[in-house]
Amino acid sequence: MADIREPLGILAVNKPQDWTSFDVIGKLRGVLHMKRLGHGGTLDPMATGVLPVLVGKATKCFGLIPDSDKSYTAGFRLGLSTDTQDITGKTLETSDMPVTKEMIEARLPEFIGEITQLPPMYSAVKVGGKRLYELAREGKTVERTPRKAVVSSLVLTDYNEDTREGTLTIDCGSGTYVRTIIDDLGNAIGCGGTMTRLVRTRSDGITLDKCHTIEELSEICKDGIPHGLLRPVDSVFGAYPEIRLGERETVLYKNGVKLDRRQAKNAEQAEFYRVYGADGFMLGLAYFSDDKLRQKTNFY
């Protein structure tokens, strides 16, 4: 049976600006009176918006949430380039070049589809065992390997030609650097560009309108975590096919017996599977090796 004494699920949080994702976890440990928490997708301190938080035994799935498309609203300013590619950085170049809405829209198709990005120096990518942002803070610039990214939609939703400030809405795959898109866009136009704000509006099937602020959660959870606040843990694993076990197989599985494909019926080919017991409760994630179903993580 599931351990009903500890909440289990996904908490949809609206991350505040100037907080790291770890800051959010630290605060929520006090709000929820729980230690076992983790986040399902880092956001830069400058960014706000959707931050899935893993609660209870859901933290066992840290790093296993499948990549999913994400959506952002990003503010930008043209005529300014910074070392961080956002407004918090040191100014590198400025330009007085006039830019029209039509000039921007003419360049947007270059950044839709599969694109190549050079990871910014102020990023968490590791080179030689150190994070790039650590090297950048030491004043170092190192050679980086370009990476593929996928942008499915890039739309200019607002632009002021006098201030050269505007807003983009972006749908993209995991690992896409939105600020690099803006930096590259500005360079393509010929004036430079930097990101002024970033809001993640969708991630792992969670939309911003379903998220709670830290202040709201502090009020909602004064007397504990109310029923219905947490999303089911399997809600972020929809990309993995499911395996449903009968009563006998459920008992064997919980006892650590490695089931074969015949016992795990209708198991299509996949990296991981959502495994459900006879009572309909998600037991965890599993994978096949040598035609045996082996547990990757469990919730019981």
Active site residues: 44
Q: What angle (nearest 5°) sits at the alpha carbon of residue 256, between those of residues 250 and 257?
A: 75
Give the residue from 189, 207, 178, 186 showing the smallest Cα distance to 74.
Answer: 178
Contact 169, 102 (CB under 8 A): no
From residue 256, give the alpha-carbon distance in Å to each of 102, 176, 241. 62, 39, 21
From residue 169, give the alpha-carbon distance in Å to each of 86, 133, 209, 276. 16, 26, 16, 37
Give the residue from 137, 241, 127, 115 showing the smallest Cα distance to 185.
Answer: 115
Task: Give CA–CA dist 281/274, Å, rounded.
Answer: 10
List Cβ<8 Å contacts ≥24 apart for 161-167.
Answer: 161/98, 161/99, 161/100, 161/101, 163/77, 164/77, 164/78, 164/79, 164/99, 164/191, 165/75, 165/76, 165/77, 165/78, 165/196, 166/75, 166/76, 166/78, 166/104, 167/73, 167/74, 167/75, 167/76
Task: Give CA–CA dist 74/155, Å, rounded.
Answer: 10
Task: Give CA–CA dist 152/173, Å, rounded.
Answer: 8
First vs last Cα of the chain: how many Å apart?
Answer: 6
Task: Give CA–CA dist 251/279, Å, rounded.
Answer: 11
Beta carbons within 10 angstroms of residue 168's beta carbon: 24
Name residue, tokens 């000039």: 103
